[in-house]
Structure formats: C-alpha cells, structure tokens
Amino acid sequence: MAIFRNLWKEPIARIIVMLALCFLTYPFLPTSFIRGALTLSIFLKSLLMLFIPWLIISGTSIAFASFRGNGLWFVATIIGIVAVSNFCTILFSGIIACYWIPKVTSSGSFVPSTISIEPYFETKFPTLLPNTWALLIGISSGILSTFCNLSKWMQGMQIIRKVTMGFLLRIFVPTIPLFLMGFILKMLVEGQIMHFFRSNGWPCVIMFGFLYGYLSLWWFAAHKCSHLPAMTILKNIFPAIVTAAGTMSSMAALPFSLEGSTKNTKDPTLVHAVLPILLNFHMMGCTTTVAMLAVMILSNFSLPLPSLSTYLLFGIMFVLNKFAGVGIPGGTVIVSLPILQHYLGFSQEMLALIVAFFMLTDPLGTMANVTANNFLIIFIQKFLKRSTRKETLSTS
C-alpha cells in the first residue's frame, strides 16, 4: 500500500489514471458533466495564466540577482553557453519537426465531429502584467541588482516568488488532472484525441529518435573533449541517468551528477559551481520535447506551421523564459504556455494537449536533461581552459 501511495503522489501517475478514466467513460458521460468539467478546466487555465507573469518576473529577477558575488563574468559565460545551447536545441528540433512531422502525420484524415462541447461560461482574469514585460523587467532588474542595491525590490520579488510557487505546488500541480480532464473529454467527444493517437506513432519515433541521436552526438563530442574513453564517461554518469529516469527529477539525480561529472572532469570546484546552474536552466530533453510536440499538435489541428521569423521569436522567448527556473513537474511547458499561445496560435485545447503529453514523456525528457548537463560540463571545462590559455598567451 505504501508503494501505491508514493506512486499516487507523482503527477504522471494521476494523469495516466485520469486519461484512462476519460477514455473508458466518455461515451457514457452526460453532456452536462463534460461541459462542467470543461468550465472547471478553463477556470484553472485562466488562473494559471494570471500567475505566470508574476512567476516569470520574480523567477528571472531572482535568478540573475543570485549571480552577484559569484564571479559575474564567469557566470555570464556559463549563462551565455546555456542560452546558446538551448536556442540551438529548439532551433534544430523545430527544423527537423517542421520538415519531417507533416510528412508522416495523417492530418488530412480527420473528420470533425458534428458534436461541439462548449463550457457553461469562461472565466477571464484581467492581464495586470503582460508576459513580455514581465520577462524584460525581471531580467533587467536582476542584472541591475548585481551593480547596485535593490534590496527592497528583491524582497518584493522573493514574496511574489513564494506566493506564485505556493500556488503552483499546492494548488495547480495537485489539480493538473482536473485542469486536463475537461479539455481531454471535449477532444474525445469531438474525435480529436483518437485522431491524435492514430496519426502520431511515427512523429513520436522522430521526436525521440532526434533527441537521443542529438544526445549521442554530444556524447561523441564529450569524448573528443575529454581524456577518457566514451564508455567510461557514460559509466561515470550512469547512476545519475537511472535516478533521473526513475524519479523524473534532475534535483534527485544531482548528487550522482556531481559525483559522475567530478570523475569525468577531475575538477570538483568547477562541477559544484556549474551543475546547479545547469540544473535550473539547461534542459535539452524538455526543450526538444516542447518544440516537437508543438509542431506535432499544429499538424494534427491542420494549422499552418510558423514562419522562420515567427519561430525564431518563439525560440528566443522560450530560451529567456527558461531563466524563470520553475522547479515543478512540467515546469518547462507550464511557463511556455503563454508564448505557445501568442507565437504559435495554440488554442485552449492545444495547450492542454501539450501539457498532458509533455508530462507523459517527462521521464525520457528528464533523463536526457541530466545526461546532456553532464556532457556540457566537459565542454565548459574545455572552453574555459582554452580561454585561459589564450589570455595567458596574450599577456606574455
């Protein structure tokens, strides 16, 4: 019984149960129940959107302010590497997805249902702070606080962060199944979910094939940058990879990552300084999954794929949003919902669908996050050694 209780605490377990119940019962549920569930789902979504700007402004402000006194230029270098890596990942993922996924997705075979489920009413909260402004103010104030005293501002950000994280951890995460249920039931009744499952076998193969193919290239590159054999590098970080897959938590795998990366680099000081930064901001698996699921969902809903300029803007905003550092299940996709809606034209149902499938693929994504971070440490060590060598030569 203890095992089942612990398993039930995991959001992914509750989501799987919710999906199973929806699939089994939706033909027998009265329309009034489905409309009520959809109304509740829309309310929770609107409530989430109300909190996200405050999560972004407080998260980015605190993240950048925390670099004060920790070697600003060293941290700026690490952050630059992380931002470039995240942007390259989402760019390559998007290019592959936009080229291949429409070719293997049978979007044209979907025949819309004559049944349309609508909520009893829609709750809309006023937009007190646009997400873009929240992001810009958070980053600029965090950077500014490293040069001057903004203690009152930062105290306010700490309070806002505490309130928003309290909402996410105590209210939204426990109710994620309810947030998804109304949208899932609506799409089941209207036929969209069944079509999504039927037409996305090969797109899922492409998504995970690209992710782990890209990760294999990183493994090869890490071997070339290191003095160690490729299998030794993997062996040293294997406990961290297994822990990440089993717990769906990069934080739970951190002790094993620190130990494994120290063996790979022989530089415990660098590892302990950099890995906590990577843990919060560099997530190859989540970045790849969000990009490819977004294209997959657009294709299934027969919506046009974004232009290159639109996708580049989406990628830039996605990378900057990563610095909000939400340490909750599905945090990457949750803070990305506003930019998916704004730049890629996601509807409420599409937002719910990407949350559901992101959570279901989270074990594989988290495993890729941890693996990539342990490889990135080797690249950073190589980069810093080369930079130091160039400085030494230029001053001599």
What token pair was written down for 48? 């989430």
Q: What is the model's pLDDT at position 393?
A: 44
Mean pLDDT of 234-243: 91
Q: What percent of the chain has pLDDT over 70?
A: 90
Mean pLDDT over 123-138 rounds to: 85
Q: What is the mean pLDDT of residues 254-260?
A: 90
pLDDT above 70 for 8: no
- Mean pLDDT computed over 50-61: 88
Rounded distance between C-alpha atoms, residue 208 and residue 279, angstroms: 21
Residue 391: C-alpha distances to residues 20, 269, 310, 330 (Å): 60, 21, 39, 42
Q: Could you count the other beta carbons within 10 Å of the beta carbon of residue 226?
A: 19
* Cα–Cα distance for residue pair 313/193, rounded to 1 Å: 29
N-terminal to C-terminal alpha carbon distance within the chain: 68
pLDDT class of 333 with cuts at 50, 70, 90 = confident
- Residue 7 confidence class, pLDDT cut points 50, 70, 90: low
pLDDT surpasses 50 at 129: yes
Q: What pLDDT shows up at residue 130?
A: 85
**pLDDT higher than 50, residue 110:** no
The per-residue pLDDT for 113 is: 57
- Least Cα distance to 284 among 214, 351, 368 occurs for 368
| Alpha helices (runs of H) in 66-150, residue ranges in sequence order | 72-104, 131-144
Structure confidence by residue, pLDDT tens digits, 264-299: 999 888 888 888 778 878 889 989 999 999 999 998
Nearest to 123 by CA among 59, 180, 64, 49: 49
pLDDT at 151 over 90: no
How many angstroms separate the Cα of 138 from the Cα of each of 28, 63, 76? 48, 9, 16
**pLDDT at 332 exceeding the cut of 90:** no
pLDDT confidence band for 330 (50 / 70 / 90): confident
- Residue 75: pLDDT band (50, 70, 90) is confident
Please say if the pLDDT value at position 111 is more than 70.
no
CA distance 110 to 342: 25
What's the pLDDT band for 131 if we cut at 50, 70, 90? confident
Phi-psi region of 330 (alpha: psi -120 to 50; beta: other; left: phi over 0): left
Question: Which amino acid is residue 39, in one-letter code?
Answer: T
Vertex 321, ends 138 and 289: CA angle to 5°? 170
Local structure of 113: helix, strand or coil: coil
H/E segment holding residue 117: none
How confident is the model over 353-393, as pLDDT tens digits?
Answer: 999 989 888 888 889 999 999 999 999 998 887 765 554 44
- pLDDT value at 204 more than 80: yes
Mean pLDDT of the chain: 85
- Taken in order of first residue, the domains within the chain and their CATH numbers are 2-395 (1.10.3860)
Per-residue model confidence (pLDDT) at position 250: 81
pTM: 0.83
Q: Is the pLDDT of residue 147 over 60?
A: yes
pLDDT at 350 over 80: yes
- The C-alpha atoms of residue 120 and residue 76 are separated, in whole angstroms, by 50
Q: Which residue, among 197, 208, 194, 200, has the nearest Cα to 102 in the 3D structure?
A: 200
Q: How confident is the model at residue 314 (pLDDT cuts 50, 70, 90)?
A: very high
pLDDT attached to residue 67: 63
Q: What is d(CA 135, CA 317) in angstroms, rounded to the nearest whole number?
A: 9
The label of the residue with tokens 């501002």 reads 153
Confidence grade of residue 259 (pLDDT, cut at 50, 70, 90):
very high
For the ranges 97-111, 314-328, 333-347, which has the lowest average pLDDT?
97-111
Indicate if the pLDDT at residue 168 is higher than 70.
Answer: yes
